[in-house]
């Protein structure tokens, strides 16, 4: 327990610093590293002909889509011809079309759902030029859009900034430097970073085993830092060469929490200065935590802690059936977990990787106890608990707009958020943004359960089978990428449906969210008085929590009851 | 129409019509306007068909027909309740429109033609620009401007106020409204509205609800309700294959019951009733709102621009103090002031006598040998020539000074200072002289209407800023402003200053409300987000405003703002309540759906409902019954107490949010206990 508490304290301390740094980057403010990075950025701008002009929300969205589309086509091509002898010592063959489609969408959308195993399915060239490359760019895309979204909400300007500039700045100033430093830290702990072919060794038992090699560390760090989650190896972060010990386990968790957490802090700073600066004793007070970010952070943290508590206690209790046949459950349910991590580190990793929608795993989610498995599922269904890079924050802000609408009416005024009135048009878009997510999950799950193609993937009939299906689509729609890996998902049906789920889950949501602020930004700000609903208070935080719970969580209540809850009750009956 | 008689919430007549209307409104083409209830209606038709053909969708089970029939019946009742709510809300307006139409019926007009002859025509044939003559005892056929004549007019058909009003050409009292009656003399009127566009016509359309358009907030809320409905449709439709996969064959009626329970039928059924009732509450204050949008905008008001005279103060000044100058005894001043006011019937004059007697002045009566001099705009003083030759005068400072000096008197040295003191206090100094000696000063105070200070405090509590406009000098204005408790003031205010002030506030993103009457207020009324014109005012002002106060009481703007807020709060609270109800409904229906096949799910049946059927029907019944239970709340609006937004939110959240979660748990359980034995008797 102490390690968890300490871990979370370090997390908060870290994001306060990086959050401010992110804020400075987003607002183009001065940072300590400017002398170096300004030159790098200028070179990139010149090279690519980026003119740094301000964009409207439509231009911004178009730039984002076009950039992503180009990368998708190039990436798809590489996967289809990866058999070529470039960085391919293990002589991996070309990838099948639907799997390539699924994989490329998966990585471009920051999902990293993997219907292949890295060591047998991808060449080193693909791992570097497609997978690792997209881990940087998809993270930068998400972050850039989130920053534009917040700029729109803050409403200090009438434009959203420039996508290419945001994209470049976040890559050069955040992702690359941290990746290099922490990547080397992982190497020091034993994560490989080479281009050698797999090594075949004779084990002490006298048998032969292939030891996988490759540029692992460079991918491992951005996989977490960019909340991507796709493993170099099929076993993801439970493989010792990806995640050798508890220290790397902690580093990896911290890496995935860092940026989503910082986004919330940066949000607080970005919307803050529209009000008067707090001046104490003639000196401007240093603000670490913008007041508007507090309820957002509080609700995210509350759901996270509740989830962690449920997952941890469910896993600690162990499996009664295994106990009955004489297997000690004193260490908790160890099925599918690594001995070197145990229940606590595994439960924490599971909660973190789904709350922060990374999708890497250091234990098999399929073998979690029913309730323990319900927690990651719920995190992805909500998709607002910090969430992936910037995206979770945007989703939560959409819920904040919804909460503001309901609460605003209750204080007898036209609802307003951050000084802008929420009216018919915004409500329409907000509602749409909220509908998409459950629609994708439930529609595809229903489709899979009523078609033979879908049913063929289910390996565990019964309640768990339902959980597998729902989990897979929740993971796709939330752009998480983890899986209940028991699902036999490398088939036409699953490759295509999850591909579509990831695609719409990512881009539809982003475009609608940009449209919301695009509409808000044009409005005249309204004045604030004590009659105005304040959105930085405890009451609002509780209201927001209830709105998320009732609207987002209850939507999945029937699915949860038929899946994990029924399974749990059957297990403990 | 009169608000003097306390009206009952609903009369038997309204009730009877409402019951009839709730069936008429079942027409699908009408229901379609309310998507939430339309889904219920579709559910009703499907279950109705299933009642006759239970096996149509392959449902299996015993007593299916009975079950489908009961579900169908409850859905019908739900629809009727929702329609009833709307019909009741409309009922009051309709009754009112009826009486207004009555006033309009069979009106005749005496049109004066170009050659000077007149001709009786039906009022319906009147055009803009026609000139009509209306004699005593006749009804004014349409809205118009008086071009000749002076008459007293009974406006009770419109305002409910039975005391007649004097109308004459020119000035602020030259506009007349169609449907009112001339009770003395005659008027020559130029008609200013075509038939069917008169104020009376607009009023009928408004109270009847025909002109009702959805307000911006209503549209936004409707969007939310529709999207919630869509979300729950997705949930239910996807639940079917999930259940099939889990080995449960769900009955169509059960799925429909779950949909209806989850979609926000409570607020969906009451939404239009809340809006109509809000408008009606405004009407009951004798304010005619030109649109629902205007009432709603009232809730958003940040700044109110108020005229001092008439709105904040009575406009007539009351004597508050006698101040002597030189070595004149107080008693002398009082007696002189009182006697000079004996024949003065203005409120000022009367107040001088009242105050004088109150301070122990000598009782005096008018005698025939006193010669009173009336106040005129030229002389600006009044007074009395006493039988003993004393000439008592009272008037403005400069006038009396000149008068005294002309008669060879001296101005006491302390007079100017005392006059200024009074002015500083916001009062009007009235100087009293006897012959050529100045006796002293009467301090005439502008009195603030009682209760206003408290009301402004109420406004401040919800963050509304008040700005007072007055033609007075800054010194006087500041004093009154402070006394009344307004937040700021504009002194020496010209009509264009008002527009400037409104624009300035609006540029800061504020919503501005104002009241006005004269023609020169029209541009400001149009500029303001909420403009309330007085019915006594000119037709230009009424045209520019989005509300007209029939009683011409400027302070009513405060009530209207509160009604606007209450309207929004009611909508928000009932929405919250409706959504919060879903928690309990999930816990009632989901276990009921699956308990038979997956027995361990009985753990989730936390209400311990008797059987699956009774659980589903209890939830559905609760869903229906809650609508009529909340009709009174929707009509009256939730209690509004001005306080900080923060407090108001936690208060309403606690009642409607938390209450909305808890209430259905209790309600469904109680219904279950009642209907479970009944259901088992009929074999369900």
Task: Report yes or no: A263 and A238 within 8 Å, Cβ to Cβ.
Answer: no
User: Which regions in chain A score pLDDT beneath 70?
Assistant: 273-285
Task: Report yes or no: B634 and B277 within 8 Å, Cβ to Cβ.
Answer: yes
**Chain B residues 442-461 with CB within 8 Å of chain A:** 461
- The pLDDT of residue A74 is 96
Chain A CB contacts of B261 under 8 Å are: none
Chain B CB contacts of A414 under 8 Å are: 216-217, 296, 299-300, 568
Q: Coil, strand, or helix at residue B112?
A: strand
As a whole number of angstroms, the distance between CA B315 and CA B205 comes to: 36
Q: Is B231 on the interface with A (CB under 8 A)?
A: yes
- The pLDDT of residue B160 is 66
Q: Is A450 on the interface with B (CB under 8 A)?
A: yes
A417 Cβ partners below 8 Å, 6+ apart? A153, A400, A401, A404, A520, A535
The DSSP element (H or E) to which B290 belongs, if any, is: none
- Is the pLDDT at B211 greater than 90, yes or no? no
The per-residue DSSP string of B525-594 comes to HHHSSEEEEETTS-HHHHHH-SEEETT--TTHHHHHHHHHHHHHHHHHHHHHHHHHHHHHHHHHHHHHHH
Chain A CB contacts of B590 under 8 Å are: 557-558, 561
As a whole number of angstroms, the distance between CA A364 and CA A346 comes to: 9
Q: Is B580 on the interface with A (CB under 8 A)?
A: yes
Q: Is B603 on the interface with A (CB under 8 A)?
A: yes
CB contact under 8 Å between A533 and B645, yes or no, is yes
| Nearest Cα to Cα of residue A477 among A533, A418, A436, A449 | A436
Q: Is A412 on the interface with B (CB under 8 A)?
A: yes
- The pLDDT of residue B9 is 56
Nearest to A557 among B461, B565, B586 (CB): B586
What is the distance in angstroms between the Cα of A478 and the nearest Cα belonging to chain B? 17
Q: Please provide the average confidence, as pLDDT, over all residues in chain A.
A: 92
pLDDT one-digit tens code per residue, A497-554: 999 999 999 999 999 999 999 999 998 888 888 888 889 999 999 999 999 999 888 8
pLDDT one-digit tens code per residue, B257-289: 999 999 999 999 999 899 888 888 888 888 888
Interface test with A, best of B466, B585, B645, B656 (most A CBs within 10 A): B645
Tell me the torsion sign for CA atoms A277, A281, A282, A283. negative
| Nearest Cα to Cα of residue B339 among B394, B280, B398, B400 | B394
CB contact under 8 Å between B645 and A559, yes or no, is no
Q: Indicate which residues of B carry an active-site annotation.
A: 307
Q: What percentage of chain B has pLDDT greater than the value 90?
A: 31
pLDDT one-digit tens code per residue, B83-104: 999 998 888 777 777 777 776 7
What is the distance in angstroms between the Cα of B246 and the nearest Cα belonging to chain A? 7
As a whole number of angstroms, the distance between CA B525 and CA B535 comes to: 14
pLDDT band, very low/low/confident/very high, at B557 (cuts 50, 70, 90): confident
Task: Report yes or no: A14 and A254 within 8 Å, Cβ to Cβ.
Answer: yes
Chain B CB contacts of A536 under 8 Å are: none
Q: Is B58 on the interface with A (CB under 8 A)?
A: no
For residue B585, give the chain A residue with the closest CA: A554
The pair of structure tokens assigned to A374 is 């319900």
Chain A CB contacts of B649 under 8 Å are: 407, 410-411, 533, 539-540, 543
What is the distance in angstroms between the Cα of A380 and the nearest Cα belonging to chain B? 17
For residue B565, give the chain A residue with the closest CA: A412
Q: Is A419 on the interface with B (CB under 8 A)?
A: yes
Mean pLDDT computed over B22-27: 93
Q: Is A90 on the interface with B (CB under 8 A)?
A: no
Tell me the torsion sign for CA atoms A196, A200, A205, A206. negative
CB contact under 8 Å between B238 and A445, yes or no, is yes
Mean pLDDT computed over B413-437: 85
Interface test with B, best of A404, A419, A531 (most B CBs within 10 A): A531
Nearest-5° angle of CA A223, CA A228, CA A231? 55
Q: Is B464 on the interface with A (CB under 8 A)?
A: yes
CB contact under 8 Å between A450 and B244, yes or no, is yes
Q: Is B600 on the interface with A (CB under 8 A)?
A: yes
Q: Is A531 on the interface with B (CB under 8 A)?
A: yes
| DSSP conformational letter for B3 | S
Chain A CB contacts of B219 under 8 Å are: 423-424
Q: Are strands B303-307 and B313-324 parallel, antiparallel or unpaired?
A: unpaired
pTM score, two decimals?
0.88
As a whole number of angstroms, the distance between CA B308 and CA B43 comes to: 59
Nearest to B653 among A410, A555, A562 (CB): A410
Chain B CB contacts of A439 under 8 Å are: 231, 234
The per-residue DSSP string of B423-458 comes to HHTT-EEEEEEETTEEEEEEEEEEEEPTTHHHHHHH
- Is the pLDDT at B589 greater than 90, yes or no? yes
The DSSP element (H or E) to which B232 belongs, if any, is: helix B216-245
CA distances to A147, A174, A259, B20, B323 from A23, rounded to whole Å, are 9, 12, 12, 63, 68
The DSSP element (H or E) to which B365 belongs, if any, is: none
CB contact under 8 Å between B650 and A559, yes or no, is no
CB contact under 8 Å between B237 and A446, yes or no, is yes
Q: Are strands B465-469 and B488-490 parallel, antiparallel or unpaired?
A: parallel
- The pLDDT of residue B4 is 38
What is the distance in angstroms between the Cα of A436 and the nearest Cα belonging to chain B? 9
Nearest-5° angle of CA B513, CA B514, CA B519? 140
Task: Report yes or no: B385 and B391 within 8 Å, Cβ to Cβ.
Answer: yes
User: Scanning the structure block, which residue is given the tokens 């009555």?
Assistant: B102
As a whole number of angstroms, the distance between CA A177 and CA A362 comes to: 25
pLDDT band, very low/low/confident/very high, at B5 (cuts 50, 70, 90): very low
CB contact under 8 Å between B645 and A532, yes or no, is yes
Q: Please provide the average confidence, as pLDDT, over all residues in chain B.
A: 86
- The pLDDT of residue A497 is 95
CA distances to A182, A221, B78, B148, B578 from A178, rounded to whole Å, are 6, 9, 60, 88, 48
- The pLDDT of residue B136 is 85
**Chain B residues 556-575 with CB within 8 Å of chain A:** 564-566, 568-569, 571-573, 575
Write out the E strands in B458-520: 465-469, 488-490, 512-516
For residue A455, give the chain B residue with the closest CA: B245
pLDDT one-digit tens code per residue, B465-479: 899 988 777 877 888
What is the distance in angstroms between the Cα of A414 and the nearest Cα belonging to chain B? 6
CB contact under 8 Å between B601 and A561, yes or no, is yes
Chain A CB contacts of B240 under 8 Å are: 446
Which range (A462-466, B540-544, B561-565) has the least confidence?
B540-544
User: Scanning the structure block, which residue is given the tokens 């997978």?
Assistant: A131
The pair of structure tokens assigned to B382 is 């009044």
As a whole number of angstroms, the distance between CA B444 and CA B347 comes to: 11
Q: Coil, strand, or helix at residue B381?
A: strand
CB contact under 8 Å between A412 and B227, yes or no, is no
Q: Is B223 on the interface with A (CB under 8 A)?
A: yes
pLDDT one-digit tens code per residue, B309-358: 777 887 667 888 899 888 888 888 998 888 888 887 777 888 888 888 88
- Is the pLDDT at B529 greater than 50, yes or no? yes
Q: Is A452 on the interface with B (CB under 8 A)?
A: no
Q: Coil, strand, or helix at residue B421?
A: helix
Q: What percentage of chain B has pLDDT greater than the value 70?
A: 95
Chain A CB contacts of B243 under 8 Å are: 562
What is the distance in angstroms between the Cα of B478 and the nearest Cα belonging to chain A? 24
- The pLDDT of residue B579 is 94
| DSSP conformational letter for B385 | E
Q: Is B463 on the interface with A (CB under 8 A)?
A: yes
- Is the pLDDT at B556 greater than 70, yes or no? yes
Chain B CB contacts of A533 under 8 Å are: 645-646, 649
What CA dihedral angle connects B368, B374, B379 and B385, to 10 degrees? 20
Q: Is A398 on the interface with B (CB under 8 A)?
A: no
The DSSP element (H or E) to which B188 belongs, if any, is: strand B186-191
């Amino acid at each position: 327990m102490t390690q968890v508490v300490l871990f979370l304290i370090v997390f908060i301390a870290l994001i306060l610093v990086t959050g401010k740094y992110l804020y400075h980057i987003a607002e183009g403010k001065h940072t300590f590293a400017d002398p170096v990075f300004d030159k790098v950025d200028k070179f990139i701008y010149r090279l690519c002909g980026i003119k740094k002009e301000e964009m409207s929300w439509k231009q911004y969205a178009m730039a984002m889509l076009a950039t992503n589309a180009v990368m998708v086509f190039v990436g798809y091509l590489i996967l289809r011809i990866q058999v070529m002898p470039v960085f391919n010592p293990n002589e991996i063959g070309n990838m099948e079309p639907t799997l390539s489609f699924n994989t490329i969408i998966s990585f471009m959308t920051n999902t990293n759902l993997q219907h292949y195993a890295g060591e047998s399915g991808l060449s080193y060239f693909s791992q570097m030029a497609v997978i690792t490359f997209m881990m940087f760019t998809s993270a930068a895309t998400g972050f850039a859009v989130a920053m534009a979204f917040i700029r729109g909400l803050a409403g200090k300007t009438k434009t959203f900034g420039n996508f290419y500039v945001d994209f470049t700045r976040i890559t050069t100033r955040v992702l690359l430097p941290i990746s290099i430093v922490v990547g080397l830290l992982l190497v020091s702990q034993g994560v490989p970073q080479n281009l050698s072919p797999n090594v075949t060794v004779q084990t002490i038992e006298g048998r032969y085993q292939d030891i996988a090699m490759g540029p692992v560390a460079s991918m491992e760090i951005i996989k977490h830092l960019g909340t991507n989650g796709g493993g170099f190896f099929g076993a993801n972060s439970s493989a010792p060469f990806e995640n050798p010990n508890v220290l790397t386990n902690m580093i990896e968790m911290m890496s995935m929490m860092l940026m989503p957490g910082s986004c919330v802090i940066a949000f607080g700073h970005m919307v803050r200065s529209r009000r008067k600066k707090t001046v104490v004793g003639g000196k401007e007070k240093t603000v670490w935590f913008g007041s508007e970010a507090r309820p957002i952070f509080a609700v995210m943290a509350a759901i996270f802690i509740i989830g962690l508590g449920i997952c941890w206690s469910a896993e600690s209790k162990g499996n009664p059936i295994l106990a009955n046949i004489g297997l000690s459950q004193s260490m908790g349910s160890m099925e599918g977990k690594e001995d070197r991590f145990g229940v606590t580190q595994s439960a924490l990793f599971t909660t973190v990787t789904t709350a922060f929608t990374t999708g890497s795993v250091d234990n098999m989610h399929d073998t979690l106890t029913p309730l323990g498995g319900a927690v990651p599922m719920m995190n992805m269904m909500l998709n607002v608990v910090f969430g992936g890079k910037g995206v979770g924050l945007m989703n939560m802000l959409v819920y904040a707009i919804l909460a503001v609408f309901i609460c605003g009416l209750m204080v007898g005024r036209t609802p307003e958020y951050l000084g802008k009135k929420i009216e018919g048009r915004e409500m329409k878009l907000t509602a749409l943004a909220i509908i998409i997510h459950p629609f994708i999950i439930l529609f595809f799950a229903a489709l899979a359960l009523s078609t033979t193609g879908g049913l063929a993937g289910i390996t565990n009939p019964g309640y768990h089978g339902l959980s597998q299906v729902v989990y897979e689509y929740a993971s796709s729609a939330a752009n998480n990428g983890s899986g209940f890996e028991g699902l036999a998902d490398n088939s036409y049906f699953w490759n295509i449906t999850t591909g579509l789920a990831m695609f719409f889950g990512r881009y539809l949501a982003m475009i609608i969210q940009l449209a919301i602020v695009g509409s808000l930004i044009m409005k005249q700000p309204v004045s604030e008085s004590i009659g105005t609903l304040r959105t930085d208070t405890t009451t609002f935080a509780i209201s927001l929590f209830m709105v998320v719970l009732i609207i987002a969580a209850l939507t999945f209540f029937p699915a949860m009851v038929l899946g994990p809850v029924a399974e749990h009750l059957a297990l403990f009956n | 129409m009169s608000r003097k008689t306390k009206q009952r919430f609903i009369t038997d007549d309204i009730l009877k019509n409402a019951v009839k209307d709730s069936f008429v409104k079942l027409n699908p083409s009408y229901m379609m306007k309310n998507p939430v209830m339309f889904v219920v209606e579709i559910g009703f038709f499907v279950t109705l068909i299933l009642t006759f053909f239970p096996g149509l969708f392959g449902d299996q089970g015993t007593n299916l027909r009975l079950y489908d029939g009961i579900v169908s019946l409850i859905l019908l009742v739900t629809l009727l309740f929702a329609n009833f709510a709307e019909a009741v809300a409309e009922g009051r307006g309709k009754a009112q429109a009826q009486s207004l139409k009555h006033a309009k019926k069979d009106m005749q007009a005496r049109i004066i033609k170009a050659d000077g002859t007149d001709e009786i025509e039906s009022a319906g044939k009147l055009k803009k620009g026609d000139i009509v003559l209306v004699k005593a005892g006749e009804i004014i056929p349409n809205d118009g401007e008086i071009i000749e004549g002076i008459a007293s007019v009974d406006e009770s058909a419109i305002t409910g106020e039975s005391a007649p009003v004097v109308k004459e050409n020119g000035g602020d009292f030259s506009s007349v409204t169609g449907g009112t009656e001339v009770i003395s003399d005659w008027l020559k009127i130029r008609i200013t509205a075509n038939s069917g566009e008169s104020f009376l016509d607009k009023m009928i359309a408004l109270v009847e609800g025909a002109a009702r358009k959805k307000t911006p907030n209503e549209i936004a809320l409707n969007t939310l309700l529709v999207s919630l409905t869509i979300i729950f449709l997705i949930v239910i439709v996807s639940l079917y294959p999930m259940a099939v996969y889990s080995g449960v064959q769900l009955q169509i009626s059960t799925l429909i019951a779950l949909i209806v329970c989850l979609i926000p039928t409570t607020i969906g059924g009451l939404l239009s009733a809340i809006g109509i009732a809000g408008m009606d509450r405004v009407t009951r204050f004798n304010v005619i709102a030109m649109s629902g949008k205007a009432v709603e905008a009232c809730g958003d008001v940040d700044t109110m621009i108020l005229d001092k005279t008439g709105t904040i103060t009575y406009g007539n000044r009351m004597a508050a103090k006698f101040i002597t100058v030189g070595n004149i005894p107080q008693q002398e001043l009082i007696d002189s002031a009182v006697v000079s006011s004996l024949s003065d019937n203005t409120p000022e004059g009367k107040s001088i006598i009242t105050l004088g007697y109150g301070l122990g002045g000598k009782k005096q009566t008018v005698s025939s040998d006193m010669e009173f001099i009336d106040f005129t705009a030229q002389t600006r003083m009044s007074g009395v020539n006493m039988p003993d030759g004393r000439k008592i005068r009272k008037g403005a400072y400069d006038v009396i000074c000149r008068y005294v000096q002309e008669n060879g008197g001296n101005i006491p040295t302390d007079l100017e200072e005392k006059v200024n003191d009074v002015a500083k206090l916001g009062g009007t100094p009235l100087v009293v002289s006897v012959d050529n000696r100045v006796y002293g000063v009467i301090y005439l105070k502008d009195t603030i209407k009682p209760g206003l200070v408290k009301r402004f405090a109420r406004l401040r509590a919800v963050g509304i800023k008040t700005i007072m406009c007055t033609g007075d000098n800054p010194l006087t204005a500041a004093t009154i402003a402070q006394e009344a408790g307004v937040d700021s003031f504009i002194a020496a205010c010209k009509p264009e200053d008002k527009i400037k002030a409104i624009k300035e506030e609006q540029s800061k993103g504020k919503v501005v409300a104002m009241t006005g009457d004269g023609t020169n207020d029209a541009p400001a009324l149009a500029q303001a987000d909420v403009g309330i014109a007085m019915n006594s005012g000119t037709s230009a002002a009424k045209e520019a405003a989005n509300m007209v106060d029939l009683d011409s009481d400027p302070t009513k703007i405060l009530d209207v703002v509160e009604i606007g807020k209450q309207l929004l709060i009611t909508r928000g609270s009932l929405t919250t309540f409706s959504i919060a109800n879903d928690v309990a409904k999930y816990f009632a229906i989901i276990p009921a759906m699956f308990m038979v096949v997956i027995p361990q799910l009985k753990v989730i049946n936390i209400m311990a409902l008797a059987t699956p059927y009774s659980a589903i029907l209890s939830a559905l019944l609760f869903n229906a019954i809650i609508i009529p239970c909340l009709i009174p709340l929707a009509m009256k609006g939730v209690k509004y107490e001005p306080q900080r937004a923060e407090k108001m939110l936690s208060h309403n959240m606690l009642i409607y949010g938390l209450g909305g979660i808890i209430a259905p748990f209790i309600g469904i359980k109680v219904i279950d206990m009642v209907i479970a034995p009944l259901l088992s008797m009929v074999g369900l």
